[in-house]
Amino acid sequence: MASSAPFTVEQATAAGFLPASHWQKQALEDEGIDNSNDEELTRPARLGTASLTPTVYDYRAYYGRTYHGEVGNAEAWEPNDKQHVEAMEIFHHAMMVQLDGKLYLSPLDKKKVRRVLDVGTGNGMWAIDFADQFPDAEEIIGTDVSPIQPDWVPPNVKFEIDDCNLEWTWEPNSFDFTHMRMLSGVIDDWNKLFRNAYRCCKPGGWVESMGTNAEFLSDNGSIKPGSALHQWGKVFKEGGRKLGRPFSIYEDDLQRKGMEAAGFVDIQIKDIQCPMGVWHPDPKAHERGLWYKMAIEEDLEGYLNYIFHVVLGWIPEETKAFATQAKKEWNNPDIHGYFILRVVYGRKPEPGERKSAERPRTKIQISDLLS
């Protein structure tokens, strides 16, 4: 369980980001408010967890939001309440927009795809949509640590409660395709994750992972040092460091390294530059930025709550001030912020296909969508 001890100013500075109190102070300065004697903004007593029984329906509650119960070694940072489940629906569409309407990029043969695994399925939308596209698939399994998926699903879809950080219990060579999307801050050992995926993948099958970088970027220098967008990734990366579950998936190249170490071949990397907001003049890039902005704004509080409050010890007033400033910046058309969405997919070789000493060949495709 994450520690809720608040960062001191000195600790925040050493970690490379501004202290939480900076954002509250800035918000008050913007409003012309003097809070030097305001007792209502002092730090409140922090919430703890109630005594939980070992069932997945005994959710934990932090600052008015709920999170998964005791499942394996899991510590997922996104809420599982109704508000966030609804936000997941927009996020699912936003991710498909990033891929030009596709659910995946792996070169799948529809005639050969019989069993599929969706790791970290969330509200199950990806698994359900995949089943609609592959009605002849025998079984599509979506796993998550929260039972938040719908009851009415295609007949070949089922959902299971499982922590993907533990050893996978499926038999070797079980799945033709394994899909993983947006597991930043959730995985404690990426090499182990891909070893499990490799073992459970059928020879000739594919494994695909989608993730993003932690920090917002800008090519024209419009994300200024000390701005909320400049600080965003620094705060999340420090939260991931404290959790032992990194957000620096892109920066540390964890997807490619994990796939290569596991033994996958034909590894392909697709980097997509997604604007944050609607500043980009290209219509497709504009649409990608719009949908991602809508997805995050649908439950911005939910995305920040666990990392900022529970892990790093910010108080709600500080986080609210930070969120307000971040929204102001990504809605400013003069600030050209973007992030990198990386999709990596690889194939499990057929028996005898490659020698044990042979390194898998990696092809890198970079989409030059921001000129």
Rounded to 10°, the helix 21-30/316-330 angle is 60
Q: What is the pLDDT of residue 71?
A: 85
CA 252 – CA 272 distance, rounded (Å): 17
- Residue 43 has a pLDDT of 28
Confirm if 17 and 238 have CB atoms less than 8 A apart: yes
- Residue 62 token pair: 């932090």
pLDDT by residue for the chain (371 residues), tens only, comes to 554 555 555 565 565 666 556 555 565 456 554 443 433 322 222 222 223 335 678 899 999 999 999 888 889 999 999 999 999 999 999 999 999 999 999 999 999 999 999 999 999 999 999 999 999 999 999 999 999 999 999 999 999 999 999 999 999 999 999 999 999 999 999 999 999 999 999 999 999 999 999 999 999 999 999 999 999 999 999 999 999 999 999 999 999 999 999 999 999 999 999 999 999 999 999 999 999 999 999 999 999 999 999 999 999 999 999 999 999 999 999 999 999 999 999 999 998 876 443 444 454 444 444 33
Rounded Cα distance between 111 and 176, Å, is 11
What does the pLDDT read at residue 62? 94
Tokens of 40: 């209502």
Inter-CA distances, 255 with 210, 212, 243, 329, Å: 9, 11, 19, 30
CB 102 within 8 A of CB 272: no
Count the neighbouring beta carbons within 10 Å of the beta carbon of residue 143: 18
Q: How far apart are CA 362 and CA 342, in angstroms?
A: 14
Query: Where do runs of H (alpha helix) occur along the chain?
Result: 9-15, 21-30, 82-98, 125-133, 190-200, 228-243, 254-262, 283-298, 300-304, 316-330
d(CA 279, CA 276): 8
Query: Shortest CA distance to 190 belongs to which of 342, 364, 307, 4?
Result: 342
Amino acid at 366: I
Residue 363 identity: K
How confident is the model at residue 29, as a pLDDT? 54
Give the DSSP H or E segment for 350.
none
Q: Over the range 158-175, which residues count as b (16 or more CB within 10 Å of their CB) and which as e?
A: ebeebbbbeebeeeeebb
Longest dimension (CA), the chain: 74
User: Residue 339 phi/psi, 5° resolution?
Assistant: -130, 165
Q: What is the pLDDT of residue 299?
A: 97
